[in-house]
Amino acid sequence: MADELRIAVTADVDVVTARQRGREVAAQAGFSSGDQTVIAAAISEVARNILNYAKRGEVQLSVVTNGDRQGVIIVARDQGPGIPDVQRALEDGYSTSGGLGLGLPGARRLMDDFDVTSAVGKGTTVTMKKWRRMNA
Amino acid sequence: MEVPILKQGHYLIASIQSALTDADLSQLREALIERVGKFRARGVIVDVTALDVMDSFAVRTLRDIAHMARLRGAETVIVGIQPEVAFAMVQLGLTLKGVSTALDLEEGLLFLDQQAKLRIERGTGRIDRG
């Protein structure tokens, strides 16, 4: 496992920090500037969800190599109320916070791998990955 | 970080200088809507050239600014969305529907001038809208 970065999310400024760190990590891992933006936007959505629904949590960033692929892994974790219906939360336009309802489904479209595990009353973990092929 | 709002003629120009928190964006919305009245502005330009990410909250706030300003009698145009930002926005499903955009500040000013002209012509009945 390569370097790991943890950003505590407890205020809206942490959402900005998380996406900026994410962009840096993606840049170091060799992602194009377009992909860096995509990764930063996805982080922004999941970090804001932590704030909106759980008040506090953390975003963990790491870089992995898998064969000829390099990836950025983002784990957004909270001990908030959890999501009763994860399938529903992944639908466009569904929101319980008065938002646009594009956060989770949008982040899923931006990333290559996307997984949500949630338990009501225990919290939510969103794990998402973006991959790029390494050139020799 | 507060966004500076300049007044130029009948227009207000908000030039975003750096990354903004949700609170900064909300503050910008309040400030612009208040100043539309204070300066009797007919147009608002929000320059987002410096924004390297636009997520759902940013887009919702910009949309709100445009709609609120219109209710107060001013047209809004968002200028300077960067190519990568546009790409990520489309992937996210964020469209800024119903909000005018222009490539940069210059185009934004031209757009507002055209809108103002149209409004005057309509007002004096010189335009054939058939």
pLDDT digits (tens, 9 = 90+) for A42-86: 999 999 999 999 999 999 999 999 899 999 999 999 999 999 999
Indicate whether A55 belongs to any domain: yes
Mutate which of B24, B25, B91, B94 to disrupt the A interface (most A C-beta within 10 Å)? Answer: B91
Number of domains in chain A: 1
* Contact between B84 and A37 using a beta-carbon 8 Å cutoff: yes
Indicate whether A126 belongs to any domain: yes
| Per-position b or e across B43-55, b if 16+ CB within 10 A of its CB | bbbbbbeebbbbb
Per-residue model confidence as pLDDT tens for chain B (130 residues): 789 999 999 999 999 999 999 999 999 999 999 999 999 999 999 999 999 999 999 999 999 999 999 999 999 999 999 999 999 999 888 889 889 999 999 999 999 999 888 888 887 544 444 4
Indicate whether A86 belongs to any domain: yes
For A15, A19, A43, the CA distances from A9, given in Å and listed in that order, are 7, 11, 11
Q: Which amino acid belongs to residue B127?
A: I
Domains of chain B: 5-123 (3.30.750.24)
How many other CB atoms are found less than 10 A from the CB of residue A73?
A: 20
**Interface residue A92 vs chain B (CB under 8 A):** yes
Indicate whether A135 belongs to any domain: no
Helix (H, G, I), strand (E, B) or coil at A115: strand
| Closest chain B CA to residue A108 | B92
**Interface residue A80 vs chain B (CB under 8 A):** no
- Please report the number of interchain residue pairs, chain A to chain B, with beta-carbon separation below 8 angstroms: 76
Write the residue in A36, A48, A102 that is nearest to B93 by C-beta: A102
Q: Let me know: does B3 contact B40? Beta carbons within 8 Å.
A: no
pLDDT in tens, B89-101: 998 888 898 899 9
| Per-position b or e across A76-101, b if 16+ CB within 10 A of its CB | bbbebbbbeeeeebeeeeebeeebbb
Indicate whether A136 belongs to any domain: no
CB-count burial class (<10 Å; 0-12, 13-18, 19+) for A60: middle
**Interface residue A17 vs chain B (CB under 8 A):** no
Sign of CA dihedral B96, B98, B99, B100: positive
Backbone angles phi, psi at A69, to 5 degrees: -110, 145
Q: Look up the domain containing A92 and give its range.
A: 4-130
Indicate whether A46 belongs to any domain: yes
Write the residue in B20, B22, B56 that is nearest to A100 by C-beta: B56
Indicate whether A61 belongs to any domain: yes
In angstroms, the CA A127 to CA A31 distance is 19
Residue in this structure with the two tokens 């507060």, named with its chain if needed: B2
Q: Kindly report the CATH number assigned to the domain that includes residue A94.
A: 3.30.565.10
Least Cα separation, residue A55 to chain B (angstroms): 14
The ipTM, to two decimals, is 0.88
Residues 6+ apart with CB under 8 A from A68: A133, A134
Helix (H, G, I), strand (E, B) or coil at A33: helix
Helix (H, G, I), strand (E, B) or coil at A103: helix
Q: Tell me the two tokens of residue A81.
A: 């109320």
Indicate whether A68 belongs to any domain: yes
Residue in this structure with the two tokens 């999941």, named with its chain if needed: A46
pLDDT, position B128: 47
**Interface residue A41 vs chain B (CB under 8 A):** yes
* Contact between A102 and B94 using a beta-carbon 8 Å cutoff: yes
Q: Looking at residues A16-43, what average pLDDT do you find?
A: 96
